[in-house]
Amino acid sequence: MSDLRFHVLPSARELKTECIRKSIHFLIALSPTMAAVSKPLTVAILAAGTLLYACFETLRLLGVKVPLVSSLTSIASRSRDRGHFVLGPVTLGLGALLALLLYPSPAASIAIYALAFGDGFASLIGKFFGVHRPSIMLGKSIEGSMACFIAVFMAAIKVSGSIQITLAAAITATLVEVLPLEDYDNLALPIAVGFAVQAFL
């Protein structure tokens, strides 16, 4: 049975924070295009970017402000991240990196698009429009899960042209996204989707 609660509109700050977070999230979708030009270079950029961010975030926690990066991290961080290392960008970069290292194209591309768009739209739609939250979904909303499924379906069908592969990717992404993994879904989702897609190739 769904928990039908009065939907409270997010504050302007929440809206701004989530939009900034997901704008960064969507940028990871550039990785497959970059990898098509040079996979080694894309892997190097993702690895270096993730490492640099980790260093900058450590400095921020030590009180050393890094221009732009520290400000952007503070603005985009959720309430649970206040005063802590903001892990999301690290797992995001690692998720895309692992997809490229573990799977060939098109599995890697679909896995990264699932990470960028499936998880991204699930979060946005779920946060701002999610009303139906059955207990079995552990706090996630049906609306967010539907957004994830549709986003991954559209990306996967465009890449693969196969309904079988597309359904495998969309169903896997939706099932993983609903798990209470917090920032670690950035790792689990592309790995699981890439595995599911590769199994049908």
What is the structure's pLDDT at 133?
84
How many Å apart are CA 166 and CA 172, to the nearest integer?
A: 10
Is residue 2 assigned to a domain? no
What is the structure's pLDDT at 81?
65
> Domain count of the chain?
1
Is residue 161 assigned to a domain? yes
What is the structure's pLDDT at 2?
43
Is residue 6 assigned to a domain? no
Is residue 1 assigned to a domain? no
How many Å apart are CA 194 and CA 9, to the nearest integer?
A: 35
Using left for φ > 0, alpha for ψ between -120 and 50, and beta otherwise, residue 135 falls in alpha
What is the structure's pLDDT at 1?
41
What is the structure's pLDDT at 192?
97
Is residue 141 assigned to a domain? yes
Expressed as residue numbers, the domain containing 142 is 12-200
What is the structure's pLDDT at 42?
97
> Which residues, given as ranges, of the chain have pLDDT below 70?
1-16, 70-72, 74-81, 83
What is the structure's pLDDT at 84?
77
Q: Using CB atoms within 10 A of its CB, is residue 138 exposed (0-12), middle (13-18) or buried (19+)?
A: exposed
What is the structure's pLDDT at 198?
94
Q: Using CB atoms within 10 A of its CB, is residue 150 exposed (0-12), middle (13-18) or buried (19+)?
A: middle
Is residue 133 assigned to a domain? yes
Q: Do residues 180 and 138 touch, judged by C-beta distance below 8 A?
A: yes
- Its pTM stands at 0.86
How many Å apart are CA 140 and CA 62, to the nearest integer?
A: 34
Is residue 26 assigned to a domain? yes
Q: Is the dihedral of CA 122, 172, 81, 55 positive or negative?
A: negative
Fill in the DSSP letter of residue 137: G
Is residue 53 assigned to a domain? yes
